[in-house]
Structure 1
Amino acid sequence: MRAVRRRRDERGAAATTFVVGMTVVLLACAGLVVDGGGALNARMKLADEVEQAARAGAQMIDETQLRENGVVRLNELAAEQRALEYLRERGHPNPYADAGLTSIVVTSDDMVEPTLLSLIAVPPFDIHATATAEAETQ
């Protein structure tokens, strides 16, 4: 009878190990779906905001050059300031903007904290977006 009891005890331990293992795997899969989707959504939102900041900066045309010479040029300092202001208003603490004569490049980084994956020690996701806009008149 003792031999039979030992076998049942061992099968219970194996089943418990299997259930615990499967729980971890299912949690990781759910975390990939939830946190991965959240990171993709945050990346798309950041890209949209960076594009809008570049457009806002590209609107800062040097009006004097346009009126006197008919040349479309950016007021570089005003373009950079407008793009950076746009992103800071939306909560991006360290954006970067670089304006040239006719275009502006805007870059921003962000971090997305995982919710489910943080339970298994996955670090935050770093996301990055860059956009370029050109000055035009029509």
Structure 2
Amino acid sequence: MRPPRRRGERGAAATSFVVGMTVVLLACAGLVVDGGGALNARMRLADEVEQAARAGAQMIDEGQLRQNGVVRLNQVAAEQRAVAYLRERGHPNPRAAAGLTSIVVTSDDQVEPTLLSLIAVPPFDIHATATAEAETR
């Protein structure tokens, strides 16, 4: 009578390699998908902040322009218009600071990762700032 045949442990190494490579490939796919989504969200935020700055820069003080021919912003109206523009587009915390002839608009947002959330990667913080000058042409 022969003793029972022992099974080899060769499959354990292959299994751990496949599991490890799966995790690495998921992380790479997450960087591509979530990184691309974050870049897209950053560009969209930058576009909207630029448009808000342009909207604010249109709020020229007409009294100064008619009396003195000087192009100046109605600072309060410019800030309010820029902030309202971004709030209409779903940005909860826009900021605007108007000077005599220009306005600076800033907004922040977060992008939730989809694939990278599986390995506990926190949301990406994105930020955009734009400046626009008041002009008449």
Q: TM-score, normalised by structure 2?
A: 0.95
For the residues of structure 2 that align with 1:8 and 1:71, how far apart are their CA atoms?
91
More helix by share: 1
Runs of 4+ in 1 over 6 A off after TM superposition: none
- SS for the counterpart of 2:127 is strand
Shift of the 7–110 alpha-carbon distance from structure 1 to 2, 3 Å rule, reads farther
Deviations 1:81-106 (A, max 9, x none): 00000000000000000000000000
What SS class does the counterpart of residue 8 from structure 1 fall into?
A: coil
Deviation at 1:9, TM superposition (A): 3.7
Deviation at 1:10, TM superposition (A): 1.9
Cα pair distance change 1:7/1:34, threshold 3 Å: farther
Partner of residue 96, structure 1: 95
Aligned length: 133
Q: Could you say if the C-alpha distance between residues 7 and 118 of structure 1 is closer, same or farther in structure 2, counting changes exceeding 3 Å?
A: farther
Provide the alpha-carbon RMSD of the alignment: 1.2
Q: List runs of 5+ in structure 2 lacking aligned partners.
A: none
* CA distance in 1: counterparts of 2:71 and 2:10, whole angstroms: 79
Distance 1:112 1:7 in 2: 53
Give the drift of 1:28.
0.3
